[in-house]
Structure 1
Amino acid sequence: MKLIRHGERGAERPGMVAPDGTLRCLADVIGDIDGAALAPAALDELRDIDPATLPRVPDNTRLGACVGRVGQLIGIGLNYSDHAEESGLPIPTEPIVFLKATTSIAGPHDALILPPTAQKTDWEVELAFVVGTRAQRVSEADAMKHVAGYCIVNDVSERAWQAERQGQWTKGKSHDGFAPMGPWLVTADEIADPHALHMTCDVNGDRRQDGSTATMIFGIPELVSYLSAFMTLEPGDVVTTGTPPGVGMGMRPQVWLRDGDVMRLEVAGLGQQETRVRVDAA
């Protein structure tokens, strides 16, 4: 299944993508695409619904982030061997973990509004997995049982705040709008191998990132097991798993997002998102 959230920001309603590509509303069936809706039994109930019986979402309706009420948005840094190489950094021996504020979550086509103090804002196309059942100190062998599905996240990063200010990466990753998510959540049963997905990011029509999840250093089972040893993962939590090479920081000379730029991200099987950059002059 492909699950969506549609409507104005803060008032999104749940829905699904029908086999014919139309968007259908689930508001009369469930409250939201959140942890409760992503439990295995709840997903099975949604699979039994004939999308043709659901109201059609009007054309041109805004799509919100495909997961609602996210408790934790967790990022993994330098998780692609070729991205670590372009960054001139050693391959990590264990996952680099940071948090993105949940207030950074945005819809897949919402404008990215940069604050006037942003100097070096960068793009990062990423595969994210969404937790479906509580994970606490789970083994790698059991890890995939806890994954409800997958979606695209653009891990937008203000590199000056991330690397040139004291403290951790979180503040460079967490401004409002720094996590466009979606367009939809694809349930795990529809993705045969999440470690073999082509992923791209174009900026103003120029291909910047062209990679594959095959170059991940730490795969999803290892990430679930590793994270759950340090923190409990709850249903609806989102973990974004790192980016392939081609980010602006790795270019020579370096290139940063500017007013009017358009980012177009795609991951095989997970759809596309397009985001236009605006600068807040206030």
Structure 2
Amino acid sequence: MDWLQIVLLSFIQGLTEFLPISSSAHLILLPVLTDWSDQGLAFDVALHLGSLAAVVLYFRHELVAMVGSWGRSVAGRGTDEDARLAWWVILATIPVGVVGLAFKDSIEVVMRSPLVLAGGLIVFGLLLGYADWRHRGSRNEYHMHWHDALWIGLAQALALIPGTSRSGITMTAALLLGLNREAAARFSFLLSIPVIVLAGGLEALSLAESPAPVAWLDLAAGTLLSGISAYLCIHFFLVFIKRIGMQPFVVYRLMLGVALIWLFG
């Protein structure tokens, strides 16, 4: 790969992994707009590793508190709000893990078309717009209940439909359940950690079976650039939605969906 391809793919992955605008839609558009060949599985793993490092680094203090409290709760030494939040992240991850393992291949084969992507962008974009427009939530992520986590987890499973956006659908569900904007985003970002680990782990297993040569410099650059863009994305997104909300992303989703229909319809 040339350096322009490495830079663009890295920044697209870093940004769209956490913004509610669907990474799959952007990654399918890029080959259409360029003559680049597929970047390969190894580079995909590197990009996911960068995104994972960014979210872990950003929430490092919360994660340390959550893991410590969760360990104490497992040992029967009481449950506090950090332990509960850790349990809710685990609970909300189960549906997408089960559905992903059972149907991921068939979903990718049957539904991964530009028009399906366009439909997902538009339909779930409008739902995000409605949830943000009507939101009156004041709860943060520490005031969630187990059934909130379960509903958000079930919504996250819908992200296997191309164009849905994992972050978008989890934020939508959280807003509809009464969380405030920042809490909806923060819980969505925390949920990304086990999801990226699971998805990256499956890709890494496939990569281990591949005889293809590894371009280590390209992988290192992709990991670093993806991590930087993802970290900045998380930081500025949390500031942005507090002031303006989700509506600019809804408009962007609708425009991208229409563009896909125009290009492939």
Q: Counting helix residues as a fraction of each chain, which structure ranks higher?
A: 2
TM over 0.5: no
Tell which has more relative contact order, 1 or 2 (C-alpha 8 A, sep 6+).
2
Q: Counting strand residues as a fraction of each chain, which structure ranks higher?
A: 1
